[in-house]
Amino acid sequence: MHIIAIGLNYRTTPVEIREKFAFQESELPQALQQLRQTKSILECTIISTCNRTEVYVVADQLHTGRYYTKAFLAEWFKMDLDDINPYLNIWENDHAIEHLFRVTAGLDSMILGETQILGQIRDGFLLAQEENATGTIFNQLFKQAVTLAKRAHSETQINDNPVSVSYAAVELGKKIFGDFHEKCVLIVGAGKMSELTAKHLHANGSNTITVINRTESKAEELAERFSGTARPFNELEDALVQADILISSTGAREYVITASMMKSVLKKRKGRPIFMVDIAVPRDLDPALAEFDDVYLYDIDDLEGIVEANLAERKNEAEKISLMIEKDLVDFKQWLATLGVVPLISALRSKALGI
């Protein structure tokens, strides 16, 4: 029995590659079923966020577990295995367990110590559990990872200045505009990232927030929470004409705002600049928008500079959490040893080979 984690993240893979490996939320149940039925895979969980796509598996053998997990990713995203290999990170056994603990606690996030990933790991695990893709090992491991992360955040001061990617987007806007008072803010998308962005904008003085989403009821719900206005998706171009700031975070596969759309919008804006932040993966905004004189376009990778400014204050607290992770790694290995799983599987394999 071996625990393997395979994936890519913002540290080593640019957004234009990451967006090609992003699982749609609606696809995850099918993906989990397909991976669970793959040769050598005994348990599995998939974590897919704007900054990382990672697959965690329990496999009967290391080499086959590695190979078939990578083959699953290549098949799912319709790419050649040789083309994706250079981007994939692989963690095995103790390193995989430690990596999961670090990711869940926010120590591997773009913004050190952020808590959004904790909810994403928990949701990913619960979905895998619901799809019967987990078993004894992952049921214990992921519950322990979530419990450890909650304890790390409550027992240290790593969250004294709570931040996230959405917070970084708002901070970037403040550097350009000074404040958001009397600025017209347009949020495209009504998911968790959009909600966090709206929360930070509202807290920083924005009193004119418009929300657009393909499902209008969700836009209305989010807008009402922050005293904003919801508009139907077919009014996107009109909303862009009025906006000073756009923050986009949808789950769309294609660009939501294209260069041709923006060209039409800019004619009506009469030279007024617009600040656009794309925090979606895959990207919502056509990169060609940056070529327009009055458009100031930033994507999720551009936020890294703001992220860096927060690291120094959090690194000391992160060291404390690293010590907690070391102890939990030992605890998990001791629990694992009590199961007798390793000798049992070894015996079954020997028996199978002898038939």
DSSP state of 87: G
Q: Which amino acid appears at position 57 of this protein?
A: V
Output the CA angle 276-280-285, nearest 5 degrees. Answer: 45
Sheet bearing 89-92, strands edge to edge? 41-48, 52-59, 2-9, 89-92
Distance between CA atoms of residues 321 and 319, nearest Å: 5
- Which residue among 6, 44, 50, 240 is the active-site one? 50
Distance between CA atoms of residues 157 and 134, nearest Å: 33
Strands 209-212 and 229-231: parallel
DSSP state of 288: G
Strands 2-9 and 89-92: antiparallel
SS (H, E, C) 32-75: HHHHHCCCCEEEEEEEECCCEEEEEEEECCHHHHHHHHHHHHHH
Query: Cβ-count burial of 206 within 10 angstroms (0-12 exposed, 13-18 middle, 19+ buried)?
Result: buried
**245 - beta bridge partners?**
185, 275
Distance of CA 149 to the CA centre of its chain: 16
Q: Is residue 50 among the annotated active site residues?
A: yes
State the angle between helix axes of 116-130 and 136-155 in degrees (0 to 180), rounded to the nearest 10.
160
Radius of gyration for the alpha carbons in the chain, expressed in angstroms and rounded: 22
Q: Contact at 8 Å (CB) between 15 and 51?
A: no
Catalytically active residues are 50
